[in-house]
Structure 1
Amino acid sequence: MLIFKSKSFFLFWNWTINPSYSIQPPPEKALELPKEWLTTDLEEQKSSKWGEKIVKQIYKLHIDEEMRNCEPEYTTLRDLKFWLGTWNVNGKKIDENINIWLTGSVTGKPTADIYVVGLEEMVDLTATTVVLEAQSQKRAGVWLEMVSNALNRGAKNDETSYVLIEHQILVGVFLSRDGRDDDDGCDGSIGHDGKQGRRCDPHEAYGQHGLLRLLASGGPSRERGGSKRGFPQVRARRWVNGRICDNIRFKTEDETFGILDHQLIFWIGDLNYRITSDVPTLRVFDYARDDLDYLLKKDQLKVSQRAGLAFEEFTEPEVKFPPTYKYKKYTTQYDKKEGKKCRAPAWCDRILYKTGDGASMDDIEVLTYDHIMKLSGSDHKPIFCEMNVRVKEYDPAKRKKIQLRIERELKKSENSAAKVHVELSGDEIDFGKLKYRTPERRTLTISNEGEGNAYFHFLPKAEDSHICKRLFNVSKAYGVVKPNEKLDIEMEALIDPEAAHELNGGHDVLHDVLVLRVEHDRDYYITMFGDYVMSCFGQSLENLIRMKAPARESSEISSNSPVAMAIPKELWRMVDYMMQYGCDSAGLWTDKGIEGEDALIRDMLDEGRPFEGIDVHSMADCLLDWFRALQSPLIPEKCTSRIEKGEKINSAFVDAFMNMMSPVRKNVFVYMIMFLRELLKHAESNDLTAEFLGMIFSQVFIVNASKKQQLSKEYRVAQEMVTELLIYLLKSTAQQLAGEVVAEDSGSEASDED
């Protein structure tokens, strides 16, 4: 598929070859039923016509599931070699021989099965070229000919040639896909909202390519160049990323799916990430020559990924080449201008990839990831990546035979006169004691004691597609059980932050009733329940400063209870541990903690036990989770809603901002700033920067927002400004926050009306 948005590309792939038979994926969450099954008419829901409709759907879904289970019987594995390249040509007409880019040498021959070429700024982005496509179309024709000539150079009649499968352009952005002529195939297309897309099947394989270019960042100073080089607008990048991934949908006769539903996704192009602003511009030139490893640690994309702000699920092959921007034209020298227009070298041009469900990173073997220094007609150098991707090749004859066998076995018991009767292993599911973020699972067994197929499905809640409360889940919401067979369904209960908020606030209880309908039998009622174990996670700050004892020993807290401390004791314990053992530790908030230690830390906090032998990285992760789980964010909406984009961050702004916070929030905020400053004193050993910490903690300080809110412009502006505020405070002197901690007593007002 091809998608354009400014200057970078996406490529999305499903590696199933010969997919003439559409196997629908299972729903993302079993507790949600297909929308077409829903009805608000209870009489219709009870009707035989509605039941027959559901049975037909379950029949088809069962066939799909069985086909997925039998997939190894009708597939073989093979490798496809991909070549992906991107080049910002800066609006210039390139007269150089691009054969060296595509094949590795001036006289080399292509070896990949599929070639994808992406160009940014193919023409100058003037008002004329934006409105009129003639120049872009003309330049695209030139590039198509150049690519074809390079791939088919010297090919003889008996040799495999390469053909253009598809290409698209949009306002100076170009993307083409060529493949061996026996790999041709493409169907379906979309184009809307400044983005264009196409879903393609190279060698009859499901696949997609796409394109998007991100604008250069302003960052804290909102200036691009010189010594004021700032951090990128990573929120904007996340916003663009999220909007595109959520809004672009593809349709076939049987299903609708999005970008992230594919098994292999590439995102390539001029992403415009620079070097973090704590490295002086002139020093960047030195590091670009002498110390790429150090410079990569300061690369904004790498920092953004580590902070979980952008492309966090994507992988980039190991970068072993120097920054690809900004060069003097027709040279291999960086453009080291004097003054404010000096642009520091940067890895603007990137190739990223990720795998989705049904695929593994083990299926991808990166062969080469490099740049081409000899091509010098632009201020960017082209980059490329070669990789082998293992794909599944279907045998249509075997697949059809297996499909007929599955259908035949199911139809054996398809008798409208046959009696249907099931027995359940029980009608009550007791999950026992439920701790925060600790899933508990139980099994419900359905036994078919009748003579016909038992088609079952859970009924949705009124006017909803969900079959149970969000804190519960089931592994299978519908299915079929053949006579004399049994089916196990896994039932799960999990207290996540949202569920904890509801339970702690008294807005929900750990109890629900599911209705299991067996067509041609009856409805069965299943009760699920459990006991919530109190935790300091998911509480409000106002409650936590009133809890003298550990959470598990605390009785119900009210707003009238006396304030026991200025900040929650659990926050102090986590920070104190990190101050003792973690100040010099590298990899804080980038390296993962020890698996399972997060639950141990929560137990130690909730039970008041001392920390023993805890990994500091586990503690660092737990600290973030504690902030994310707060019933309302540390920085409330009433503070962020008054922030205007572009406001100057200075002492007056800080004073006004903090005066909007309640005493407990101000105390926690100041406490965290002082802690993070202490970590920065050990930057030589822990490799932390103010920019990185600002990005990390801005996420958790205003985290309580829905996904839709997080993609809104207002939320994005708020996070950008909070990031800049944190960076400003972390770089300012300690005296600027002196005396800010508010002493509270039982008579002080600690609540915060958001």
Structure 2
Amino acid sequence: MDHMLSTTQPDTEPEEGRVVNQEAITKIREAWIFKQLAQRQSEFTTFSSINLFIGTWNVNAKKLDFDDPNLLTSWLFPPENNGVLPDIVAVGFQEIVDLNAVNVAVDSKAKQRSELWQEQIHKCLNTKTSYTLISEVHLVGMLLCVYVKNTHIAKVSNVHSETVGVGVMGVMGNKGGVSVRMSFYDSSICFVCSHFAAHRENVAGRNADFASILNKTSFDIGKEAVQEAVRAGSVSQWASGSSAIGLKDHDFVFWLGDLNYRIDETLSTDEVFVKSNNMEIETLRAHDQLNIERFNNNVFEGFEEGVLKFAPTYKYQPNTDLYECRPDKKLRAPAWCDRVLWLSQNPAHVSQKNYLRSELNISDHKPVMATFTTQVKNILAEKRQEVYGEVMRTLDKFENQSLPKVNLNKIDVDFGELYYENKSSESLLVTNSGKVVAHFRLVPKLEDEGLCKDWISVSPTFGMLIPGESMTINFSINLDNKTAQQLNLGRESLDDIIILRLENGRDHYLTVSGKYARSCFGMSLRDLVVIGEPVRDLPLEPEARAEFEKKHPPSSLSVPKELWRIVDAINEKGLHEKDLFLQPGFAAEVKQIRECLDTSSDFGLFHVHSMCEALVSFLSSLSEPLIPSFSTPIVEIDQQNIMPWSRRFLEELPPIHYNCFVYIISFLREVLLFSKNNGLTAAKLARVCSNCMIQSDGGKNEVGRSRSMALIFLHFLTTNSI
């Protein structure tokens, strides 16, 4: 959602029904001027060619001989570059340490290892010429280092870095992305190093990782830097006073890393081995998952990649040039996991010179490198001032006429039926039907601070239209768990009024409405156990609900039917499945499972991991956590006093919560009987329980409380105490 246009001056009403805010007009006017300058930036911009080196390597936690400064030379200075030294070097690593639970939770080892790699790269680069490390950023096993040749240091500014973890169930940082952005001369460049979800069949997980990193990465570069980016044509329009930009708000984006896309399963593993060893690159390329997903616009939309002409870079026997096919090792079909892609606002300004792999062999991956020539901007200030004068004269011609007028193609924005955690979108068209420039903005209702209720997003929130020009205003609703809880309790309704204010004109009142399709997610256990009918049938309105309950007397279930159905389905799907509760399911399946629970319809064919994720999500969503805060220990406990605290814990649980807790623990004990197959331990399941059965209260004893609850969960999972 765009930032609300902020003003320090109050609105004034010079005459009845006509509201004016001159400060808002000035800001919106400035945004429009910036937009025109960006569109004409070629008239006041010259370009210089620079060379870039982009490298990525999953080192599989292996160590180099850090005393040899030339060990990386064949990778960082490939002979195919014909001695051309890059002006910018961006090198990304994955798995610089083992991605075990300790390293994910405690970052000290990763920091030490990243410093060793930085030193090695610095030594190697500076054997040729002088480079300076502009920025480094690491997240567990990922490391991104950006170097600039010393002759360009004075032209580097606004350097910022960010990290986004995705990991297991979206809460651990063992996968994700790290980013560095900078201004180089008058262009903006962003580098992203990422490590996506593994496993050949998990294409959707990798696509989701890309989307998560793309959407969550934001750089707070400051208001002045944002406005200068607009003036340089790097950002289309920004005058809301915001100081942040996203990944795509750059002239160039280079995305590198172990993206983990494999050869599609239409080729068997044996076929992939044969074709890789025989260098049948064209055939393998046609079955590459990333190429297929990009062709279908499912991922990396707008990005480009060079043609893969080298052999797949994964999976090798370390310290050899042989693909890993030993009988005592996991058999992985060779794949191009390691990739470099780019995005440019002007595709003609990027030319890839080489796309290669190195033959360094300490890891099970081969390093990959790409070299580019890019055209960076040099702004001619005097010429830009001339263009600015022309834009202002055009604007003045329209501003000197009469009052503004706009037409809206509708004022009622009806979303129809809305579902839990489903995003829905609608739009309306604003057209300047008058003869003068129209400035509009969305404003809060009297005594409100926000433009609208929290569950509504609107973009843009302001704009300027010349006569005859139209603009689409987009509305989206995402019913998150917090909103669903309020709807279930009758404390919220899906309706709101949004005010569109036409500066120096009249206000337009827009109604936004929808109908919530009730879900068991976001409800309380005490409500769920008395509902025998499908939750979807239970009306939200108090009067309609009272009438419904007359026809359908309350049930007296021991546990909610929805909980029983999920557990029963997991039992049927197979408790022997590897990494139950640790491997994420498929988003589309989790959504369909939720719909089946809400409507009491039969489950279809679902993966057991999707059913497990649905169970965790259901427990996490409860409006009252399964373990109330008053039932958790008030002091930190240990193995010496676990027995009395466990008894006290059970005694303080409300009856319904007690029934559900016993039911789930009994089920998880059954799961542990298959630990040889599913790889689970009581400690892992205790951690899952902590994540979904208790909720943070933000207190200062939060860490101790969580540790104590983990011990209690572990106690019940490993003993016959209940």
- TM-score norm. by structure 2 comes to 0.60
Return closer, same or farther for 1:198/1:322 CA change in 2, 3 Å cut-off. same
Q: Identify the residue that residue 224 of structure 2 maps to in structure 1.
A: 253
What does 1:485-504 correspond to in 2, within 5 Å?
Answer: 485-504=469-488
Cα deviation, 1:397-453, whole Å, max 9, x if unaligned, reads 699699869946972763143331111222222223333223443322212110112
Query: What corresponds to 2:70 in structure 1?
Result: 99
Partner residue, 2:497? 513
- 1:499 is paired with a residue whose SS is helix
Q: 2:435 aligns with which of 434, 440, 451?
A: 451
Residue number in structure 2 paired with 1:736: 721
Q: Is the Cα–Cα contact under 8 Å of residues 319 and 369 in structure 1 kept in the other structure? A: no
1:662 to 645, 651, 654: 654
- Residue 678 to residue 472, structure 1, CA distance change in 2 (3 Å): same
* Residue of structure 2 in register with 1:186 after alignment: 156
Amino acid paired to 1:455: H
CA contact (8 A) 1:635 1:661 kept: yes
Distance between the aligned counterparts of 1:665 and 1:357, measured in 2?
52
Taking only the aligned residue pairs, the percentage that are identical comes to 23
Report the alpha carbon displacement of residue 371 of structure 1 after superposing the two structures with TM. Answer: 9.2
Aligned to 2:131: 163
Listed as ranges, the matches of 1:239-318 within 5 Å are: 250-251=221-222, 253-255=224-226, 256-257=243-244
One-letter code of the match for 1:607? T
The answer to whether structure 1 residue 80 and structure 2 residue 52 are counterparts is: yes
Query: Aligned partners of 1:355 and 1:44: how far apart in 2?
Result: 53
One of 654, 672, 680 as aligned partner of 1:680:
672
RMSD: 5.9
Q: CA deviation at 1:609?
A: 1.5
The more displaced of 417-426 and 719-728 is: 719-728
Measure, in 2, the Cα distance between the counterparts of 1:188 and 1:700.
40
Distance in 1 (CA, whole Å) between partners of 2:574 and 2:390 is 58
> How far did 1:99 drift?
2.8
Separation of aligned partners in 2, 1:633 and 1:354: 44
Q: In the aligned structure 2, how far is the partner of 1:622 from the partner of 1:72?
A: 52
Taking structure 1 as reference, are residues 662 and 366 closer, same or farther at Cα in structure 2, changes over 3 Å only? farther
Q: Report if the CA contact (8 A) 2:255-2:342 is conserved.
A: no
Quickly say closer, same or farther: Cα 1:551–1:151, change in 2 above 3 A.
closer
Deviation at 1:695, TM superposition (A): 3.4
CA–CA separation in structure 2 for the residues paired with 1:724 and 1:322: 41
SS in 2 for 1:736: coil
Identify the residue that residue 101 of structure 2 maps to in structure 1. Answer: none
Q: Please tell me the residue identity of whatever aligns with 1:485.
A: E
Cα distance between partner residues in 1 of 2:428 and 2:530: 42
Say yes or no: does 1:617 pair with 2:609. yes
Give a deviation string over 1:694-721, Cα, whole Å, max 9, x none.
333422223467xxx4xx7644444444
Asked whether the 8 Å contact 2:398–2:435 carries over to 1, the reply is: no
Partner of 2:571: 579
CA offsets 1:115-157 (integer angstroms, 9 cap, x no match): 57999xxxxxxxxxxxxxxxxxxxx9xx98x97664343x5xx
Contact 1:453 1:481 (C-alpha < 8 Å) held by counterparts: yes
CA-CA distance at 1:540 after TM superposition:
1.0
SS of structure 2 residue aligned to 1:458:
strand
Residue pair 2:50, 2:375 contacting (<8 A) in 1 also:
yes
Q: 2:454 aligns to what SS in structure 1?
A: coil
- In 2, Cα distance between equivalents of 1:713 and 1:513: 40
Match of 2:460 in 1: 476
What's the offset of the Cα at 1:458? Answer: 0.5
Q: After superposition, where does 1:544-623 map in structure 2 within 5 Å?
A: 544-554=528-538, 564-586=556-578, 588-589=580-581, 593-594=585-586, 596-623=588-615
2:28 to 55, 58, 83: 58
Residue in structure 1 matched with residue 691 of structure 2 by the alignment = 699
Deviations 1:606-661 (A, max 9, x none): 22212232343332332232223211222222244725387768333332333332
Matched with 1:429 is 413
Give the superposition deviation at 1:496: 1.8
Q: Output the TM-score relative to the length of structure 1.
A: 0.57
SS in 1 for 2:398: coil
Higher mean C-alpha deviation, range 715-724 or range 505-514 = 715-724
Distance in 2 of aligned mates of 1:105 and 1:459: 54
Equivalents in 2 of 1:391, 1:701: separation in Å? 53
Could you tell me which amino acid in structure 2 is paired with residue 162 of structure 1? S
Indicate conservation of the 8 Å contact 1:33/1:460, yes or no.
Answer: no
Q: Which amino acid aligns with 1:580?
A: E
Structure 2 Cα separation of the partners of residues 369 and 721 of structure 1: 49
| Cα displacement string for residues 159-179 of structure 1 (whole angstroms, at most 9, x for unaligned residues) | xx223355899xxxx998643
- 1:693 Cα deviation (Å)? 3.4
Instruction: Classify 1:489/1:641 alpha carbon distance in 2 versus 1 (closer, same or farther; 3 Å).
Output: farther
Structure 1 residues 581 and 476: CA distance shift in structure 2, 3 A:
same
Structure 1 pair 371–588 and aligned structure 2 pair: CA distance change class (3 A): farther
Partner of 2:4: 33
Deviation of 1:662 after TM superposition, in Å, equals 1.5
Instruction: Tell me the secondary structure at the aligned position of residue 507 of structure 1.
Output: coil
Structure-1 separation of matches of 2:467 and 2:624:
52
Q: Against the structure 1 CA distance between its residues 166 and 59, is the aligned structure 2 distance closer, same or farther, given a 3 Å change threshold?
A: same
Matched letter for residue 71 of structure 2: I
Q: Is the 8 A contact 2:570 2:612 kept in 1?
A: yes
Counterpart CA distance in 2 for 1:628 and 1:111 is 53
Q: State which drifts further: 405-414 or 609-618.
A: 405-414
What is aligned with 2:125? Answer: 151
Q: In structure 1, give the amino acid aligned to 2:157.
A: D
> CA contact under 8 A between 2:625 and 2:695: conserved in structure 1?
yes
1:475 offset after TM fit, Å?
Answer: 2.8
Q: Distance in 1 between matches of 2:712 and 2:355?
A: 40
Distance 1:650 1:115 in 2: 55
Q: What is the rounded CA distance, in whole Å, between the counterparts of 2:688 and 2:488 in structure 1?
A: 27
> Which structure has the higher relative contact order (CA within 8 Å, separation 6+)?
1
Alpha-carbon separation, structure 1, partners of 2:386 and 2:685? 55
Secondary structure (helix, strand or coil) at the match of 1:429 reads strand
Cα deviation 1:81-124 (Å, max 9, x = unaligned): 2468999xxxxxx99333325656999999765457999xxxxx
Q: 1:690 to 1:390 in 2, by over 3 A?
A: farther
User: Which of 520, 533, 539 is the matching residue for 2:523?
Assistant: 539
Q: Secondary structure at the match of 1:600?
A: helix
For residues 717-741 of structure 1, the C-alpha deviation after alignment (integer angstroms, 9 at most, x for no partner) is 44444445444543x13x222xxxx
Which amino acid in structure 2 is aligned with residue 677 of structure 1? R
- Distance of aligned partners of 1:54 and 1:668 in 2 relative to their CA distance in 1, 3 Å threshold: same
In structure 2, give the amino acid aligned to 1:81.
Answer: F
Change (3 A) 1:539 1:389: farther
**Is the 1:114–1:178 Cα contact (8 Å) retained in structure 2?**
yes
SS in 2 for 1:626: helix
Report if aligned partners of 1:643, 1:718 keep a CA contact under 8 Å in 2. yes
CA distance in 2: counterparts of 1:514 and 1:602, whole angstroms: 32
Q: Identify unmatched segments of 5+ residues in structure 1.
A: 1-28, 88-93, 120-139, 156-160, 192-196, 211-244, 269-316, 325-351, 374-380, 738-754
